Amino acid sequence: MIHILSKGNSIFNKFIAQIRDREVQRDSMRFRRNMERIGEVMSYEISRSLNYKTHVVETPLGEASIEMISDKIVLATILRAGLPLHQGFLNYFDDAESAFVSAYRKSSKDGSFKVKVEYISSCNLEGKTLILVDPMLATGTSLVLAYEALIAKGGEPEHTHIASVIASEQGVDYVTRHLPSRTTTLWLGAVDAELTSRSYIVPGIGDAGDLAFGEK
């Protein structure tokens, strides 16, 4: 299942517009905060699809029954670009465990590149709900490799939610073909049609890691 949040009119679209705007992008702190706020909105939307269980809370005047999330959540991201988005999710899923994958593009002289995964930090994922967040879903290669690295280390989650702010049509197609369809849900801020020859999304936003933390 694929959800594209910007298709509906909400305050979410303001944050998408600001991370795209080249003038606003000059303020790296504001860019990070907008990514964080997007993560918070996405967290709320994803939370509506999770499993719940009734809990009884004792108040000063009695007891209240409240439906609470029963899923055991693991928030995973790809370093370094995913950190602000991950923080937004962590602000809402504040009792979740976290996992991290270090991946990068290794370029060749001809302009092509391969994605290399160098480091994985993950808890046990068996029977849990994995939320894998990555700001940009361009070709989809790094995200699929990150997913495969996580399950190789932590085991198979019960369900996986993929959350990306800006995706390409090609990336969405690649992910849907390479991840298990019955247990994977995609949550996307917006989907753009084009990729450049260097696999940057058009119109996209540019390099999310550089905008958040400075050029490499």
Model confidence pLDDT, tens digit, residues 109-127: 665 567 777 888 899 999 9
Cα-Cα-Cα-Cα torsion 207, 209, 213, 214, nearest 10 degrees, comes to -40
**Cβ atoms < 10 Å from Cβ of 10:** 11
Residue with tokens 């303001």: 14
Query: Considering only 42-46, 103-107, 171-175, which range has the smallest mean pLDDT?
Result: 103-107
pLDDT at 111: 58
CA distances from 172 to 86, 93, 126, 142, 147 (A): 20, 25, 25, 12, 15
pLDDT at 54: 98
Categorize the per-residue pLDDT at 105 as very low, low, confident or very high, splitting at 50, 70 and 90: low
Average pLDDT on 183-211 reads: 93
Give, in degrees to the nearest 5, the angle at Cα 179 between 45 and 74. Answer: 50
**Cβ atoms < 10 Å from Cβ of 102:** 15
Q: In whole angstroms, give the CA distance from residue 33 to residue 86.
A: 11
Element (H, E) at 96: none
Categorize the per-residue pLDDT at 2 as very low, low, confident or very high, splitting at 50, 70 and 90: very high
Q: In whole angstroms, give the CA distance from residue 38 to residue 188.
A: 10
Average pLDDT on 163-181 reads: 95
CA–chain centroid gap for 202, Å, is 19
Above 90 in pLDDT, residue 77?
yes
Q: Give the residue extent of every domain in the chain.
A: 2-213
For β-strands 113-121 and 97-107, DSSP reports them as antiparallel
Above 80 in pLDDT, residue 103?
no
pLDDT at 155: 93
Mean pLDDT of the chain: 92
Query: Considering only 41-55, 106-120, 144-158, 187-201, which range has the smallest mean pLDDT?
Result: 106-120
Average pLDDT on 87-100 reads: 97
Q: In whole angstroms, give the CA distance from residue 146 to residue 152.
A: 10
Q: Global pTM?
A: 0.91
The arrangement of secondary structure in 2-213, i.e. its CATH architecture, is: 3-Layer(aba) Sandwich (3.40)
Residues 166/203, Cβ–Cβ less than 8 Å = no
Model confidence pLDDT, tens digit, residues 126-157: 999 999 999 999 999 889 999 999 999 999 99
Categorize the per-residue pLDDT at 47 as very low, low, confident or very high, splitting at 50, 70 and 90: very high
pLDDT at 216: 76
pLDDT at 118: 80
- Half-sphere exposure (Cβ direction) of 54: Cα atoms closer than 13 Å: 4
Instruction: Give the total residue count for the chain.
Output: 216
